[in-house]
Amino acid sequence: QAQLVQSGAEVRKPGASVKVSCKASGYTFTNYPIHWVRQAPGQRLEWMGWINAGNGNTKYSQKFEGRVTITRDTSASTAYMELSSLRSEDTAVYFCAKSTAIAVKNDYYYYMDVWGKGTTVTVSS
Amino acid sequence: SSELTQDPAVSVALGQTVRITCQGDSLSTFYASWYQQKPGQAPVVVMYGKSNRPSGIPDRFSGSSSGNTASLTITGAQAEDEADYYCISRDDSGNQWLFGGGSKLTVL
């Protein structure tokens, strides 16, 4: 059974950085990308970026470009999301999610099939 | 296009049928997937592709797609279906992922 286990809640001051981890189990880590998604209190889900867990290539949302860094450690089957220059608006729950793709005839179906439980990051002075 | 548009709030009487829609230009290139999120929980995928249900998702959930609109239909809505529903797809380049604004489903 595929599973993603995230690190615990964090509290940071404005201007600081935070690094959240996401440990995968139950599947071959390097075969599937990992997304990072966040949700501010009472707000919508927001895509931050993703990493190809095999080769380490990343793509980031333009909103977070320059502030977010997604990495992975294949030996630990773990993905990381680091967000810098934190401000109060970054207070949110941060989720990691496993991406998968299924080929059906000439179509490809892409979706996020496994999610971590989320990590609460609070930015407060 | 860089947007997926959903109605913010949808309601349905218990046992009736409700359709939740998602509009965006990228949906003519990539299929949407649909996620159910209950308060304090992580999202759960309920539909992907043309109309594919992951194992464990009740068959009252179905999906469809036409042009730039994807739909999630719940036939015979139950109280436990009350949740936020999000559509997700890739943008036209395939490099970015787009999230709809979410639809809050109320079961009356």
Span A14-19, mean pLDDT?
98
Cross-chain Cβ contact B99/A104 below 8 Å: no
Q: Quick one: pLDDT at residue B50?
A: 86
Instruction: Summarize pLDDT for A17-63 with one digit per residue, the tens.
Output: 999 999 999 999 999 999 999 999 999 999 999 999 999 999 999 99
pLDDT at A107 over 90: no
Q: Average pLDDT of chain B?
A: 95
- What integer pLDDT is reported at residue B104 of this predicted model? 98
* Chain A residues near residue B90 by CB distance under 8 angstroms: 110
pLDDT, residue A16, reads: 98
Q: What's chain A's average pLDDT?
A: 96
In a mutagenesis test of the B interface, which of A98, A112, A114, A120 is the best target, namely the one with the most B β-carbons within 10 Å?
A112
CB A53 within 8 A of CB A47: no
In a mutagenesis test of the A interface, which of B41, B46, B48 is the best target, namely the one with the most A β-carbons within 10 Å? B48
Cβ partners under 8 Å of residue B4, min gap 6: B22, B23, B24, B26, B27, B32, B87, B88, B89, B98, B99, B100, B101
Say whether pLDDT at B1 is over 70: no
**What are B34-78's pLDDT values in tens digits?**
999 999 999 999 999 989 999 999 999 999 999 999 999 999 999
d(CA A90, CA A76): 27
What's the pLDDT at A106? 81
Is B85 in CB contact (< 8 Å) with chain A?
Answer: no
Task: Write down the pLDDT at residue B18.
Answer: 98
Check residue B33 and give its pLDDT: 97
Q: What one-letter code names the amino acid at B28?
A: S
